[in-house]
């Protein structure tokens, strides 16, 4: 018995070392950083312990801007992408011809490099002295005015950001929803057909209740993902997000840590903990609602 125990340790050791050094230790360390006031990364000294870093971050206009941007992005993209994914999945589920082809095409954005395709989106929306840009030409075709989507008004930038985010997150949602739609027991549909139930009623009374746990799961993961938005914003607006007024919470953390505005791991840690609290709250809500649902059924 004793021999077995020492045996298992050797198998677990690599994972324990990696997780210990790069996950568990940082977890405690980030908490320590966040309460060290006036931390100087050059001399590695600090003045005292307290909540000053949190107060600083919560008053920093850049953080507030980042928080606002992130919230708007979350509120726009999560409902829209989930709804759109549901619509597409229902369509996909109702056809037999070309189903595989569509399915494959829809999944493509998942495997592409966010930065690379973001550059293409930027070019499609960008207005330059040489060209109005593709999107503006379409707007002009319908008699609209050209807009500078990349360096122009706030709503225009937010619009590009939302469109790109939805484009990026949809493959995952469509994949999850189509597989959960396909797993609904066909007997229910047959029974409804015999009873002459209308299509709309079948959807609200059978389909929706059957896949609602998955929709809920997608909304939760969508919230968490959107709160962590960063790479896709960089892809469109470049690394100087504060100048573009398009920073996100995660972007703020990295800016505090690194680059021209960096060197403040304490502020970065405080901001990261604020983000963690937001994400944790959503996760807990998820767990509570799921428990409630389980007790009902």
Q: Which of 147, 256 has the CB closer to another protein?
A: 256
Number of Cα atoms under 13 Å in the Cβ half of residue 94: 10
CA gap 70, 63 in Å, rounded = 10
Among 234, 241, 246, 247, binds another protein (CB under 8 A): 234
Does residue 48 sit in helix, strand or coil?
strand
Check residue 12 for interaction with another protein (CB under 8 A).
Answer: yes
Check residue 7 for interaction with another protein (CB under 8 A).
Answer: yes
Among 40, 45, 47, 131, binds another protein (CB under 8 A): 131
- Cβ atoms of 92 and 102 closer than 8 Å: yes
**Please, where are the H alpha helices in 95-207?**
99-107, 114-125, 134-141, 154-182, 186-194, 199-202
Check residue 243 for interaction with another protein (CB under 8 A).
Answer: no
Q: What minimum distance in Å lies between the beta carbon of 79 and another protein? A: 17
- Cβ atoms of 36 and 49 closer than 8 Å: yes
Q: Which of 76, 275 has the CB closer to another protein?
A: 275
Residues between 207 and 226 with contacts to another protein, criterion CB under 8 A: 221, 225
Q: Retrieve residue 248's tokens.
A: 């996100």
Among 258, 281, 285, 293, binds another protein (CB under 8 A): 258
Does residue 151 sit in helix, strand or coil?
coil
Q: Of 45-53, 60-68, 143-151, 274-282, which part binds another protein (CB under 8 A)? A: 274-282
Check residue 91 for interaction with another protein (CB under 8 A).
Answer: yes
Q: Of 58-66, 68-76, 227-235, 289-297, which part binds another protein (CB under 8 A)? A: 227-235
Give how far Cα 116 sits from Cα of 108, 121, 156, 234, 235, Å.
13, 9, 21, 11, 7
Q: Which of 167, 188 has the CB closer to another protein?
A: 167
Check residue 15 for interaction with another protein (CB under 8 A).
Answer: yes
């Amino acid at each position: 018995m004793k021999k077995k125990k020492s045996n298992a340790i050797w198998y677990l050791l690599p994972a324990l070392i990696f997780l210990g050094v790069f996950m568990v230790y940082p977890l405690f360390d980030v908490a320590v950083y966040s309460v060290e006031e006036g931390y100087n990364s050059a001399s590695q000294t600090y003045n005292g312990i307290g909540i000053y870093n949190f107060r600083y971050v919560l008053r920093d206009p850049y953080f507030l801007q980042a928080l606002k941007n992130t919230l708007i992005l979350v509120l726009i993209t999560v409902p829209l992408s989930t709804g759109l994914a549901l619509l597409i999945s229902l369509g996909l589920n109702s056809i037999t011809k070309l189903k595989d082809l569509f399915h494959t095409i829809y999944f493509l954005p998942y495997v592409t490099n966010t930065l690379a395709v973001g550059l293409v989106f930027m070019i499609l929306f960008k207005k330059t002295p040489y060209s109005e840009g593709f999107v503006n030409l379409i707007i002009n075709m319908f008699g609209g005015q050209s807009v500078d989507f990349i360096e122009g008004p706030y709503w225009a930038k937010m619009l590009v950001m939302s469109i790109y985010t939805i484009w990026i997150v949809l493959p995952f949602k469509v994949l999850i929803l189509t597989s959960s739609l396909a797993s609904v027991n066909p007997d229910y549909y047959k029974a409804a057909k015999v009873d002459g139930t209308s299509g709309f009623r079948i959807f609200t009374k059978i389909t929706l209740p059957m896949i609602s746990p998955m929709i809920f799961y997608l909304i939760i993961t969508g919230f968490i993902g959107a709160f962590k938005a960063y790479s896709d914003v960089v892809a469109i607006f470049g690394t100087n997000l504060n100048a573009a007024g398009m920073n996100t919470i995660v972007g703020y953390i990295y800016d505090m840590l690194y680059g021209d505005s960096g060197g403040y791991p304490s502020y970065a840690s405080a901001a990261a903990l604020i983000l963690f609290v937001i994400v944790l709250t959503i996760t807990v809500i998820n767990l509570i609602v799921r428990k409630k649902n389980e007790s009902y059924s």
